[in-house]
Structure 1
């Protein structure tokens, strides 16, 4: 719409009112093709976001679809509504092209600097190269994570005890945890709710040795013991380890924990999956790996699946003895079932029904000798002790057996605090590779958020270059030569440097959210270059030399280029400084775009004219797109 209206105003400013609809229609037609071309570039840039899958796709695909639909609608309105509205509003108005005071001041500063850049091109080119090299050195230090962590205003704790613990002991421990948190953190903790164990359904079995504890928090401005959530979590861990020992704790957030569990089967940021056949060997390998992980900077809440230590009572029927006494094996197993509870009937209370079970008293259930003395009825009368018909002994067995892809699996979970996930995993992989020896047939895989980051990065690594290549093809078809298309592409790395420096300045790691920001930035960067190069080539066709055309085009396109940068930056500014719910995902995206706009605009105004004045070459027989202007985005 800005492109069409500005071109219409420019055409009408050369005529006296009343203005003919034919003049307005002709002006709109002149920019119809450039508008379609510009929108095509921006729409192509957003295509890689549509390739995202999983949680990142759920988060960002709706945004990309919305932008694509909005761009499509904007083209229709720009080429239909804007000319019609101009015919109605400008028919009897005398229009004159004037610059605002702010634009005049910007031109006073810009034009002398442009002359210096054109006279000494080595200076802007050298500065641009320094920016690219500097960004290349800074980028590896940013680190990487999947998506920024959202603050849910609550903490989800996971408490793990020995597999042999009873339900009563687990309930007492969680009750003590609730009391300690409410007493020691009255200004931070509002409510504590705990849940111990879970029915053994296929999706999420959990024994009585495991508890989920949900800690609802007061608003952060009421906290007195901590200034951030990370600091509060650290203090919670220290207090609980001192006052409620004998348990292992892991900290997360309610929605985050469940999302990780549903997507990856783990509750932590990173999961190390060890595959093998022998449970004892898996347990040994898990202990070694967990010790190595615990020594890596940033590792917190290291939890290893408890595959051993669950007490068992083994009752092995002696076939020879039961044959001698004439006892059926089912009689023996029926007596054994009375230890836990043997169903003998059903009790009805209205519509409700309850199983009626017979169970031995507590004193007999916990004493192996008493179990051996359980009488078993003989067919001809009399009884015989259970110990005469079966071997009864206590033993330890597996607490749980995890399987995947027809292999036994041990999972080690670890949360990462104080550093980026990608950097942590890279160091941990190197340490484990050097310090852990696994038996033949055993291997390690990495999962959790790191796996999601890898998959999303691999998809974007294919989709983004393909789209950039398609944009280059469009530019080549437009100019009929590779040189101007390549010079336009100078904007892409320079724009990326601004995004890198902006992330570094705000202490943000690279994430999928930041990647989406870079994708949006590339469209603006390419379009700004097209604006300037197309104008230069138009002036060359009118007979101007390369140097003259470059200087005139840079001055003429100062206003639309600055307008694009300012409107886009102002549009993303609320996202960059927002502190509301969900702002953690928006901030990296907006930070990248705003930082990239700064360097991209400087390149378009200074570096690109200096380079094009030397390397642009003559205009070919193909015409460049006339009148192309940038489209502000928000």
Structure 2
């Protein structure tokens, strides 16, 4: 049989060479598209349920959030383990599934149970949601948004964080293979009404009245339409706040003489940072604004990093003058160095083996 195969190959040399060339090209293509990483990801199949519960202590978070979420997971097929972490204002429940379980199927079942448990959690105590489809090794690209050395005047940490959140992080989410972009540092911009207790007391207005007025006067609504002379006009009520002045002119109360009392009459309205519990620094330069790009589990990290860098090149063109993006961690660099090390070791090992074989043959 082998003799006939050899004879047939010798008679059809061109056809055999064509097949070999096709196999070689296919191998090269497969090698180039093979998802290679510097560190093997051995994370099991898991879904994480996260809940933010501001102002709640660990005991309340565990009682009203963590325990109900854990109990709701009972009965889901192929669950291997359920573990949780409860701390001030935060609950994390990790549901581990058996190997080979489809992660999207697992997330669908967990989401169905979370929809049920949301009804059991008291109002205002938070709403459980699922974490991204990422692993502990999903951080593939880290960068900083900062002022250029010649920026005049330099932008504040609040401005840099706003630019990062709205002009950089959101467009990056459209990159295939990116599951999430986490932003850190700086000052989160908020609209704040800083009330003056003396002015509140003088006008007989409570803090609750201010809260209710702000909630009522920050929304748009529709009023149907009016048809007249064959024409239809849509009715809209635009009350969404868009500036500090809009907040200042919200009416809190009307006196017996018909004089309105505005928000500006009982306090000061201004932009201010949200209360922080930590800061981000880099290289001893003080506070910075950074972001971490997370890889979708199972994607090719090297390819996704190239897509991210290409997208950042586009984003740089639209950034405000004096603002730059500075990357300080690139997973592709680590992967390429690891591949280069393996290739060099294989080449050195192959040459050493060939030299030893030749020496043995010569002797």
TM over 0.5, yes or no? yes
Is 1:460 matched with 2:330? Answer: no
Q: How does 1:489-500 map onto structure 2 within 5 Å?
A: none
* Partner SS, residue 131 of structure 2: strand
Equivalent of 1:420 in 300, 305, 308: 300
Equivalent of 1:445 in 323, 327, 330: 327
TM-score by length of 1: 0.35
Q: Deviations over 1:291-346 (max 9, x none)?
A: 112222343344333642699999xxxxxxxxxxxxxxxxxxxxxxxxxxxxxxxx
1:248·1:303 contact (CA, 8 Å) conserved in 2? no
Return the structure number with greater strand share: 2
Aligned to 1:273: 143
Aligned to 2:18: 126
2:66·2:93 contact (CA, 8 Å) conserved in 1? no
TM-score by length of 2: 0.56
Residues 252 and 131 (structure 1 numbering): CA distance in 2 closer, same or farther, change over 3 Å? Answer: closer
Residues 241 and 403 (structure 1 numbering): CA distance in 2 closer, same or farther, change over 3 Å? Answer: farther
Is 1:430 matched with 2:328? Answer: no
Matches of 2:84 and 2:345, distance apart in 1? 50
Deviation at 1:433, TM superposition (A): 1.8
Deviation at 1:131, TM superposition (A): 1.0
Equivalent of 2:110 in 225, 232, 236: 236
Aligned to 1:63: none
* Partner SS, residue 350 of structure 2: helix
Aligned to 1:195: 86
Aligned to 1:115: 7
Aligned to 1:382: none
Deviation at 1:458, TM superposition (A): 1.4
Is 1:396 matched with 2:273? Answer: yes
1:178·1:192 contact (CA, 8 Å) conserved in 2? no
Residues 228 and 240 (structure 1 numbering): CA distance in 2 closer, same or farther, change over 3 Å? Answer: same
Deviation at 1:137, TM superposition (A): 3.0
Residues 183 and 110 (structure 1 numbering): CA distance in 2 closer, same or farther, change over 3 Å? Answer: same
Q: Deviations over 1:251-283 (max 9, x none)?
A: 479xx64xx5xxxxxxx4334322425322331
Aligned to 1:386: none
Structure 1, gaps ≥5 residues long = 1-108, 198-207, 222-226, 261-267, 315-391, 481-622, 627-634
1:311·1:397 contact (CA, 8 Å) conserved in 2? no
Is 1:176 matched with 2:176? Answer: no
Q: How does 1:503-582 map onto structure 2 within 5 Å?
A: none
Is 1:293 matched with 2:172? Answer: yes
2:177·2:299 contact (CA, 8 Å) conserved in 1? yes
Deviation at 1:402, TM superposition (A): 0.6
Structure 2, gaps ≥5 residues long = 119-125, 148-155, 195-267
Matches of 2:109 and 2:115, distance apart in 1? 10
Aligned to 2:290: 410
Supply the RMSD in Å over aligned alpha carbons.
4.6
Aligned to 1:605: none
Residues 220 and 412 (structure 1 numbering): CA distance in 2 closer, same or farther, change over 3 Å? Answer: closer
* Partner SS, residue 337 of structure 2: helix
1:192·1:214 contact (CA, 8 Å) conserved in 2? yes
Residues 153 and 443 (structure 1 numbering): CA distance in 2 closer, same or farther, change over 3 Å? Answer: closer
Aligned to 1:304: 183
What is the total number of aligned residue pairs between the two structures?
Answer: 268
2:47·2:130 contact (CA, 8 Å) conserved in 1? no
1:157·1:215 contact (CA, 8 Å) conserved in 2? yes
Matches of 2:190 and 2:62, distance apart in 1? 19
Matches of 2:314 and 2:283, distance apart in 1? 27
Matches of 2:160 and 2:3, distance apart in 1? 71
Matches of 1:462 and 1:192, distance apart in 2? 39
1:275·1:444 contact (CA, 8 Å) conserved in 2? yes
Matches of 2:104 and 2:41, distance apart in 1? 12
Which one has the largest radius of gyration? 1
Residues 272 and 218 (structure 1 numbering): CA distance in 2 closer, same or farther, change over 3 Å? Answer: closer
Q: Deviations over 1:61-89 (max 9, x none)?
A: xxxxxxxxxxxxxxxxxxxxxxxxxxxxx
Aligned to 2:28: 136
